[in-house]
Structure 1
Amino acid sequence: MFRKTSQFSSKTFLGCFGLLYLCGVFYFLHVAFHDRTEYDSEFEAADDADSVALGIGVVPPKLKFSSREALMAFRYKRYERAKRRPQRDGPGEMGKPVILTVEEQREADRLFAKETFNVVASNKVAMDRSIHDTRHPECKNVNYPKALPNASIVVVFCNEAFTPLVRTAHSIVNRSPPEYLHEVILLDDYSDRPELGDNLLEYVENTWPDGIVKVYRTNERSGLIRAKLAGAMLATGDVLIFLDAHCEVNNGWIEPILYRIKEKHSVVLCPMIDSINDKTLEYSDQGGVQIGGFSWNGHFTWRPIPKSIKQDLSPTDPVRSPTMAGGLLAVDRSYFFEIGGYDPGMDIWGGENLEISFRTWMCGGSLEFIPCSRVGHIFRSAHPYSFPDHKDVHGLNSKRLAEVWMDEYKRLFYMHRKDLLDKDAGDVSDRIALRKKLKCRSFKWYLENVYPEKYIIDENVKAWGYIRNPQSSLCLDLLGKDDKTVIPVGLFYCQISAGVGISSNQIFSWSQDNELRREEVCLDATPAGPDVLLLPCHGLKGHQEWYHNMESGIIKHVVTNKCLDHNNVGSSGKVSIQECDGKDSQIWAFEHYIES
């Protein structure tokens, strides 16, 4: 029987982590574990000192092997058997969508609110299903050297549905050459679902009796960020790879990651993320390669590769990225701890991806996407887990990264998150000391050298702030809608708080290219009119070029020669373009004008 591990407290872990890190012991502990032989780390329980230091026990595997050669022979046989398996014709095979009966669909709809994906479809799909190869043809012709580092795969979960969790582990073991797969760590962050108890332990023991897959548990909710740190402390492979618990790795996924890390020690890598449909379990690629950005409110964004970079890239080249999405990443294990791991002061989930992105770049490393490494991921429309006391953990975590890493540009974060100005995000002195110790560069350097395309709302512009009509006291406003979608530009009473500033829904700027824009979207109008929409900025002027006369106050749409007008629609109405006649409804003023 696969025994449960001993359990540990996240509070104890957090305190120990900080103490060990500050004393310099933490790195020594990891080196000591890393220097063990694979045979020792996999088949002998940790001694008492190690158990106390890590706060966790090590479970021996079901099978014993006389030698490393016998162990690897067992694993190669399993790997080759999975590669040669005949094509099956079952639900979801080759990544095809799962078709449900009317009754099954009714049950799927009932469970969707709890699981936030189609668990009925997932339960019909084989745990080790086949998927089609989404790599570019040139990736299949790359010959990687045999001598590559090995990897520990860390999968953190909390009340994850059983089948996507186990399917994640199957895909890793079946599609990773044994010499490169050191271990798969399934770290249970205090789940209370019955099927994740003894049932999971027995399944893992019987499916992988050689101990390649291991299950560990916390004895209280730690949150994704701290649980990942715990998983990293347990890992003994050369490379750490973090995956979400609802992934399926594709063919040839691990070699390009390990090769790049062998080439460059100080790089953090992300695979290309394919989509597993949350309703049908269909596996599909995401089209062209995109990279990561961020918005000034602290959220990750996807963006196209800049043309200046794209023109020099082959389909197999690593692609530099300013940020990463966060759930899926790979890094040399020693380097991960050298640059500070994750911020243990961050709670549950959110913000850690931007924090490690900024820190990696600013402290001498780099961040890249690897086009030849493909991993499928179930993208859910909502989180299936709760946040304690409905706490805004993403906002507070983002405040921590702003205070430590964004320097004077944190003003733009608070411009969008004024609600966080007086909120306590915890002590960040240790992280500030880490930044000083690592001799990290400024956030201005990051913007100029890593992310020069990032639009800065109040720099190198003609005007910024609210756009107000004095006669009505109305301002241009998003009306609470998401500006990542096409939306009409609305009007609302100007939201100005003394000492705090304006609402983030009312922040616009007039760029040097005569755009009226937010971060990534611009006011756009066509001769068909009269609606004014927010559309992605294209930089070609045309329908997105506006002329503003600061003396008369008019804002003229250059292509149509018409003027921006509130047309007496009132608050919560939509702005439009009308024939210019100088009436009061066409007079506008920015909050701030920049002298040229």
Structure 2
Amino acid sequence: LFSFIFQDIDYGDISDRQRLRKELHCRNFSWLLSTHADHKFVYHKDVFGYGSLCNPSQPHYCLLRDPNVPEYRKLLTALLHIPGPISSSRWANMFALTRTGLLRKDWICVRLRRIHPYWVFSNHMVDLFECPNDYEEPEERQWWLEWQKDQSRRIKAAQLVSPLSGAQAVRTTAHRNAHFRWAYDERNGKLINAETGECLDSIAGFAPLPKPCIDGLPSQEWRFSHTVTGSGNTIVSILHVALATAPRKLLLSSCNCPQGHQISAAKEDSESIFRAETKLANISPLTLLKMLIFVS
């Protein structure tokens, strides 16, 4: 479950054990999880990013579950922001952002909670609480995917005008448990709450708070130590920039592309850009690179 933090450890010669496993036709650990522990959260499965979640402008300052509260005590838990990059002996600062919008640490999730309206710093705070158990229902999952896709389009459209902007374009929602949901602006590293549209903000040594999103504010930038590759996000971003800077049109039909992916998008037509990105989301990076052909 936490295998990625032990990958650099020298565990010696295990060839005899590997040979024995092969002779006995042993199943792997993934089989054990899927067959007998499918309820267990796996940090690197079906997520955008995982590991330590830190602020680049404040070196070694990362989100951390309050170490003074037992891990499996089912009560709300403080979310801190103190020094401590991830290590094999300190896994209290391991988080993952799931495809369903949960900023999760095992069975507990970061949620936004309303507090006294006259508190000087914010009308809300964030803490860790037991994750909702209905987020994997098909209708809930589909709703979030559609909402997130729409917000991604809005963010990218705003970033065409100003690269540091985008978070303010998010449309908030009152959908159930929206206070548990977080959208991630990969370009600027902002974590945006779905209920309020506010960004997770923190100053070194203080508990993080949701605050209005501000373009280019260093305290609102968050980066995972591990990101999931193969999703095509990086290539799609490159294509998006190419579309924005094309002198006339990006004519994708001129290359040897799969049927159904021959798209022509004009710079001035942001909706064409959105449609192009949607259709290109599942194309391999190599194919996308071949499609970056400008013709006058």
- Give the TM-score normalised by structure 1: 0.27
- Paired residues in the alignment total 176
Q: Residue 126 of structure 2 aligns with which residue?
A: 532
1:585–1:447 Cα change, 3 Å: same
1:428–1:585 Cα change, 3 Å: closer
Q: Residue 545 of structure 1 aligns with which residue?
A: 181
After the TM superposition, which residues 79-158 of structure 1 pair with which residues of structure 2 at under 5 Å, given as runs?
none
Query: Alpha-carbon deviation of 1:562?
Result: 1.5
1:456 aligns with 2:92: no
Secondary structure of the residue aligned to 1:440 is: coil
Q: Residue 414 of structure 1 aligns with which residue?
A: 6
1:502–1:557 Cα change, 3 Å: farther
| CA distance in 2: counterparts of 1:501 and 1:483, whole angstroms | 16
| CA distance in 2: counterparts of 1:535 and 1:592, whole angstroms | 23
Secondary structure of the residue aligned to 2:32 is: helix
| CA distance in 2: counterparts of 1:588 and 1:502, whole angstroms | 22
| CA distance in 1: counterparts of 2:195 and 2:100, whole angstroms | 14
Q: Residue 443 of structure 1 aligns with which residue?
A: 29
Aligned residue identity for 1:458:
H
Q: Residue 484 of structure 1 aligns with which residue?
A: 72
Query: Alpha-carbon deviation of 1:453?
Result: 2.5
Q: Residue 7 of structure 1 aligns with which residue?
A: none
Q: Residue 237 of structure 2 aligns with which residue?
A: none
Query: Alpha-carbon deviation of 1:516?
Result: 0.6
After the TM superposition, which residues 3-82 of structure 1 pair with which residues of structure 2 at under 5 Å, given as runs?
none
Q: RMSD of aligned C-alpha atoms?
A: 3.1
Q: Residue 109 of structure 2 aligns with which residue?
A: 522
486-495 or 430-439, which moves further after superposition? 430-439
Q: Residue 513 of structure 1 aligns with which residue?
A: 100
| CA distance in 1: counterparts of 2:114 and 2:225, whole angstroms | 29
Deviation per CA, 1:479-518: give whole Å up to 9, x if none: 424332321111122425xxx6794122111101011111
| CA distance in 2: counterparts of 1:502 and 1:468, whole angstroms | 17
1:435–1:470 Cα change, 3 Å: closer
| CA distance in 2: counterparts of 1:441 and 1:574, whole angstroms | 43
1:413–1:437 Cα change, 3 Å: farther
Query: Alpha-carbon deviation of 1:438?
Result: 4.8
Secondary structure of the residue aligned to 2:113 is: coil
1:428–1:461 Cα change, 3 Å: same
Deviation per CA, 1:202-259: give whole Å up to 9, x if none: xxxxxxxxxxxxxxxxxxxxxxxxxxxxxxxxxxxxxxxxxxxxxxxxxxxxxxxxxx
Pick aligned residue for 1:577 from 181, 190, 210: 210
Aligned residue identity for 1:493:
P
Query: Alpha-carbon deviation of 1:593?
Result: 2.3
| CA distance in 2: counterparts of 1:440 and 1:501, whole angstroms | 27
| CA distance in 1: counterparts of 2:228 and 2:89, whole angstroms | 18
After the TM superposition, which residues 70-469 of structure 1 pair with which residues of structure 2 at under 5 Å, given as runs?
296=1, 411-412=3-4, 414=6, 421=9, 438-469=24-55
Q: Tell me if the contact between 2:102 and 2:109 (Cα under 8 Å) persists in the aligned partners.
A: yes
Deviation per CA, 1:373-432: give whole Å up to 9, x if none: xxxxxxxxxxxxxxxxxxxxxxxxxxxxxxxxxxxxxx25737xx9xx4689xx989977
| CA distance in 1: counterparts of 2:102 and 2:89, whole angstroms | 21
Deviation per CA, 1:496-547: give whole Å up to 9, x if none: 5xxx679412211110101111121110112335321111111445221001
| CA distance in 2: counterparts of 1:502 and 1:469, whole angstroms | 21
Aligned residue identity for 1:556:
I
Work out the percentage of aligned pairs sharing the same amino acid: 24
| CA distance in 1: counterparts of 2:131 and 2:65, whole angstroms | 16
| CA distance in 2: counterparts of 1:548 and 1:428, whole angstroms | 40
Bigger fraction of residues in helix:
1
Secondary structure of the residue aligned to 1:487 is: coil
Query: Alpha-carbon deviation of 1:441?
Result: 2.0
Deviation per CA, 1:563-585: give whole Å up to 9, x if none: 1010x2x32x3111122223221
1:594 aligns with 2:180: no
1:451–1:413 Cα change, 3 Å: farther
| CA distance in 2: counterparts of 1:536 and 1:438, whole angstroms | 40
Q: Residue 201 of structure 2 aligns with which residue?
A: 565
| CA distance in 1: counterparts of 2:104 and 2:66, whole angstroms | 16
Unaligned runs of 5+ in 2: 116-122, 136-176, 232-296
Query: Alpha-carbon deviation of 1:560?
Result: 2.0
Q: Tell me if the contact between 1:526 and 1:560 (Cα under 8 Å) persists in the aligned partners.
A: no
Aligned residue identity for 1:461:
V
Q: Tell me if the contact between 1:527 and 1:560 (Cα under 8 Å) persists in the aligned partners.
A: no
Q: Tell me if the contact between 1:466 and 1:502 (Cα under 8 Å) persists in the aligned partners.
A: no
| CA distance in 1: counterparts of 2:201 and 2:89, whole angstroms | 21
Secondary structure of the residue aligned to 2:6 is: helix
Greater relative contact order (Cα < 8 A, sep 6+): 2
| CA distance in 1: counterparts of 2:16 and 2:10, whole angstroms | 21
| CA distance in 2: counterparts of 1:413 and 1:475, whole angstroms | 16
Deviation per CA, 1:61-117: give whole Å up to 9, x if none: xxxxxxxxxxxxxxxxxxxxxxxxxxxxxxxxxxxxxxxxxxxxxxxxxxxxxxxxx
Aligned residue identity for 1:532:
V
| CA distance in 1: counterparts of 2:58 and 2:23, whole angstroms | 54
| CA distance in 2: counterparts of 1:546 and 1:502, whole angstroms | 28
